[in-house]
Amino acid sequence: MIRRLILLLPFLLILSACTPKVSGPAQKAPPATDEGGGAEPRPVLVAGEEPEVRILLVRSVSALKIRSSKSVDIISPQGRRLARLKGKKTYHLFQDPNDPGNMRIFEGAHEGRNLKVVGESIPFQKNTWVVPRSATFELNGKRYSGRLRLIPKTNHFTCVNHLPMEEYLRGVVPHEIGRLGRSGYQALKVQAVASRTYAVQRLRASRNDDWDMVDGIADQVYRGAGSWDLADRAIRETRGELVSLGREPAEIYYSSTCGGHTADIHKAWRHEETQHLGGMRDADGKGKSWCRSSKYFRWTHSWSAKELGAILRAYLPSAADLPRGTQLGRLKDLRILEYSPDGRVQVLEAVTDRGRFKVVGDRVRSALKRDMKGVALRSTLFRLSKQYDDQGNLTRVTAVGAGWGHGIGLCQVGAIERSKAGHDYRDILKAYFPGSSIRRFWS
């Protein structure tokens, strides 16, 4: 996620009194969406038509830096061109701190130096568009494709990247599963179909929101415009293909390493029982786990009782939905009360001098962080060993575990190893999502 930029506020204060010259001729509005202009929301999928996705890139910033090889138009929600920025130059777009309903534009390559004002301030409404005329452009030093939609609030704004689904996947697939060699090519195709299917389900869930997905691990890792031949080929060869149940796109999830057994979604999350997302042993014909090559196939993590007590006090109340202000007190013991059928920790209990506090399912990872920085435990597929002093006081807790991630659905390392073993991508997806099929929804 791009960090909040704090750029050139003194320049804004000095230049805010400059008399501007404005806008340009009318410009055709960006393609109709559910933002601005009162348009009716589009269906998530139109038969045979590639959908557009909306990715949150920047939240709560006061400025953006943009550069493009060709000109960039800034367009109002009503479709009028407010400004045109020249190609091959660097511009900074500021929300005016003295008047958040206006945008100021400065030209200059160096932050804080050698900037000059461009024209006068322009209206800054919700769903102001930034539309580069080149295939790619730089935003805050990182390359993207598509166009940008800006959503101003009081004294800050948010930036959302709009682009076609297949172009979006080019910035996702190699970063989610890695830059694999030719033996992993079928796994790249697996990831392309899985990422495309996940994105479609997010489109359905986010129709009334300002964006569909974020650009990090909360959804899918999206690194902007990129090109890597094998991944691009995998995306092209699976174009429009989704994991499906019957004639509808399926709900799917994936994680890095299942540890030898995938998770049952209704045990891990607050979710109804779902056949194609049930837990299963993930092993070859000899009983060897497909993901055994992962460095996270087996792992160990240890805490002192003091360190673990601080972590639980900081993170367990939220993970367990306890009332705001709940005080856990001093940790006396940590117990696993129940395992799920797939071997994961189902109920974890912290025993303190103020009571007993339970956390359930995959939320265990949200409570049992690896450190005070909030790095989550790698999985819930673990056992605990504990040490006590001569007085019976807890001194150390060690988790011996397997896998990385929630474990639901597709195991990425398992898919890579199945690819190396010669499995076709369709067969790999069907193995991880039993009862599903692969259907093409656009060409």
Q: Does the structure show a pLDDT above 90 at 34? A: no
Please tell me the total count of domains within the chain: 3
Q: Are residues 230 and 315 in the same domain?
A: no
C-alpha 190/C-alpha 431 separation (Å) is 11
Q: Are residues 16 and 149 in the same domain?
A: yes
Burial of 187 (0-12, 13-18, 19+ CB in 10 A): buried
Residue 363 is predicted with a pLDDT of 97
Last residue of a domain, one of 149, 165, 181: 165
pLDDT band at 111; cut points 50, 70, 90: low
With b for 16 or more beta-carbon neighbours within 10 A and e for fewer, the 208-243 pattern comes to eeebbbbbeeebbbbbbbbebebbbebbeebbbbbb
Q: Are residues 127 and 110 in the same domain?
A: yes
Q: pLDDT tens digits, residue range 353-386?
A: 999 999 999 999 999 999 999 999 999 999 999 9
**Quick check: is 275 in a domain?**
no
Residue 229 is predicted with a pLDDT of 92
Q: Are residues 54 and 152 in the same domain?
A: yes
**Quick check: is 285 in a domain?**
no
Residue 28 is predicted with a pLDDT of 40
Last residue of a domain, one of 132, 165, 198: 165
pLDDT band at 46; cut points 50, 70, 90: confident
**Quick check: is 273 in a domain?**
no
3-state SS, the chain, equals: CCCCCCCCHHHHHHHCCCCCCCCCCECCCCCCCCCCCCCCCCCCCCCECCCEEEEEEEEEECEEEEEECCCEEEECCCCEEEEEECCCCEEEEEECCCCCCEEEEEECCECCECCEECCCCEECCCCEEEEECCCEEEECCEEEECEEEEEEECCEEEEEEEEEHHHHHHCCHHHHHCCCCHHHHHHHHHHHHHHHHHHHHHHHHCCCCCCCEECCCCCCCCCCCCCCHHHHHHHHHCCCEEEEECCEECCCCEECECCCECECHHHHCCCCCCHHHCCCECECCCCCECCCCCCCCCEEEEEEHHHHHHHHHHHHHHHCCCCCCCCCCCEEEEEEEEECCCCCEEEEEEEECCEEEEEEHHHHHHHCECCCCCCECCCCCEEEEEEECCCCCEEEEEEEECCECCCECEEHHHHHHHHHCCCCHHHHHHHHCCCCEEEECEC
Q: pLDDT tens digits, residue range 287-331?
A: 999 999 999 999 999 999 999 999 999 999 999 999 999 999 999
Q: Are residues 22 and 135 in the same domain?
A: yes
Q: Are residues 50 and 115 in the same domain?
A: yes
Phi-psi category of residue 178: left, alpha or beta, with phi > 0 → left and psi -120 to 50 → alpha: left
Residue 409 is predicted with a pLDDT of 98
Q: State pTM to two decimals.
A: 0.88
**Quick check: is 345 in a domain?**
yes
Q: Are residues 233 and 328 in the same domain?
A: no
Q: Are residues 251 and 338 in the same domain?
A: no
Q: Are residues 340 and 367 in the same domain?
A: yes
**Quick check: is 120 in a domain?**
yes
Q: Does the structure show a pLDDT above 60 at 31? A: no
Q: Are residues 372 and 333 in the same domain?
A: yes
Last residue of a domain, one of 165, 180, 204: 165
Residue 133: partners with Cβ closer than 8 Å, 6 or more residues away: 68, 70, 71, 72, 73, 87
Q: Provide the residue range defining the domain that includes 310.
A: 299-401
Contact criterion met (CB below 8 Å) for 257 and 403: yes
**Quick check: is 134 in a domain?**
yes
**Quick check: is 126 in a domain?**
yes
Q: Are residues 75 and 215 in the same domain?
A: no
Residue 110 is predicted with a pLDDT of 62
Residue 227 is predicted with a pLDDT of 78
Q: Are residues 359 and 336 in the same domain?
A: yes
**Quick check: is 287 in a domain?**
no
